[in-house]
Amino acid sequence: MLKILCVGPIWRGSNAKGMFDALSRIGNIINIVDENYYINLSQKSFFAKALAKISRPIQITEFNNAILHQAHLLKPDVVLIYKGAFVKPETVHLLKQKYTVVNFYPDVSFRTHGGLLPKTLPLYHHIFTTKTFGINDLREQFGYNNSTFIPHGYDPTLHRPLEVPENLKSFLDCDVSFIGGWSAKKEELVSEVKDQNPAINLKIWGGQWQNTMSNNIKSDIQHTGIHGDVYVLGINASKINLGIVHEKVTGASSGDFITSRTFHIPGSGGFMIHEYNEESILYFKENEEVVFYKDKNDLAEKVKYYINHENERELIRKAGHVRAVNDHSLDKRAQSVVAVIKKM
């Protein structure tokens, strides 16, 4: 058992909250400093964004003071900071004088979340990255060698089979869904699916899809993200869930191979068609637990096939859920994190 001070956002559905809860479930004592309690990132209007920009330095200072205060109270064995885009270098230095301080970094690039991360990442005792290429990126960009790959997982208290309430079916039910933010690659793939399957009921959930230039999917964009239990309901309401991973971005040596959705979808009991790559096929048996596609034409053809073959779809969906439950919960990922920490 460890005493762990966890630092990160804890809204329902947050990957940080999922990891923190898993650390608690496997027997550790935790306390949490909620990043979003101090730093407001949800402004929509120009006036609110302007006020937030002015007050952000004060919010960051209060957040960092709260981390130090809670560490003083708990006297943890470990401080685990999830991403830590607003953690100051001096805070990490002060924590390291008394505690083991580690970072759990969930994203593709170490360079796209503000100016503090490049300063703080080299300071941690250890970094857990959800990207295999993250280990090399840390070495090449920061001369940092104390890192471990831990894949994303699913949260068993959130991602589970749910029956969609009758009054939400028209909102959520569809043949095919993609849940995630826009990118050019994702737009191209989803557009091809619709182009070859024009009659399908397609729903696209997530941010920045107003950027799409593909006219054939504009009416399918829902203009909102879905989170928490509604996200899980959206997975269960979709006959087919698309597992499209992000392309290479600034500061990363590679595009994504797996993402949190890789495990959220089967963990929730959804049927998934996922991008085929050297890593994604390691976690689920091809065509038995998850279906994989190799290019946009292959994806469109497999959507057409599985829309029309419900029995096969159901067998794969159920087997994928069993695999997720057996092997890919955040509890298992948390056990791996603790095992590494105890060897430090």
The yes-or-no verdict on residue 317 having pLDDT over 90 is: yes
CA separation (Å) from 278 to 78, 132, 148, 201, 273? Answer: 34, 11, 19, 31, 15
- Output the average pLDDT for the chain: 96
H or E stretch including 102?
strand 100-105
Q: What DSSP designation does 122 have?
A: G
The yes-or-no verdict on residue 44 having pLDDT over 80 is: no
Token representation of residue 256:
């994504």
> For 197-250, what is each residue's pLDDT tens digit?
999 999 999 999 999 999 999 999 999 999 999 999 999 999 999 999 999 888
**Residue 254 — very low, low, confident or very high, per pLDDT cuts 50/70/90?**
very high
Q: 207 near 178, Cβ under 8 Å?
A: no
Query: Which residues on adjacent β-strands are paired with residue 149?
Result: 129
Three-state DSSP at 52 gives helix
**Average pLDDT rounded to a whole number, residues 185-204:** 98
Question: Considering the chain, what percentage of its residues have pLDDT values greater than 70?
Answer: 100
Determine the pLDDT at residue 262.
98
Residue of 139, 21, 27 whose CA lies nearest to 82: 21
Determine the pLDDT at residue 51.
81
Domain boundaries, the chain: 3-153+329-343, 166-327
Determine the pLDDT at residue 113.
86
**Residue 9 — very low, low, confident or very high, per pLDDT cuts 50/70/90?**
very high
**Chain centroid to CA 274:** 15
**Residue 343 — very low, low, confident or very high, per pLDDT cuts 50/70/90?**
very high
Determine the pLDDT at residue 43.
72
Determine the pLDDT at residue 49.
77
Determine the pLDDT at residue 324.
98
Higher pLDDT, 283 or 46: 283
Q: 292 near 274, Cβ under 8 Å?
A: yes
Pick the CATH number of 166-327 from 3.40.50.2000, 1.25.60.10, 3.40.30.10, 3.30.500.10: 3.40.50.2000
The yes-or-no verdict on residue 46 having pLDDT over 80 is: no
Q: What DSSP designation does 233 have?
A: H
Assigned fold of 3-153+329-343: Rossmann fold (3.40.50)
Quote the pTM value. Answer: 0.95
Residue of 259, 263, 238 whose CA lies nearest to 313: 238
The yes-or-no verdict on residue 45 having pLDDT over 90 is: no
The yes-or-no verdict on residue 50 having pLDDT over 80 is: no
Determine the pLDDT at residue 301.
98
Determine the pLDDT at residue 281.
97
Query: Which residues on adjacent β-strands are paired with residue 34?
Result: 8
Q: 161 near 325, Cβ under 8 Å?
A: no
On the question of a common fold for 3-153+329-343 and 166-327, the answer reads: yes
Determine the pLDDT at residue 293.
98
Measure the CA dihedral 173/177/182/188, to 10°: -140
The yes-or-no verdict on residue 135 having pLDDT over 90 is: yes
Phi, psi of 127 (to 5 degrees): -125, 130
H or E stretch including 202?
strand 202-205
The Cβ-side half-sphere exposure at 300, using a 13 Å CA radius, reads: 16
Determine the pLDDT at residue 42.
76
**Residue 63 — very low, low, confident or very high, per pLDDT cuts 50/70/90?**
very high
Token representation of residue 175:
């043949």
Phi, psi of 207 (to 5 degrees): -90, 155
**Residue 182 — very low, low, confident or very high, per pLDDT cuts 50/70/90?**
very high
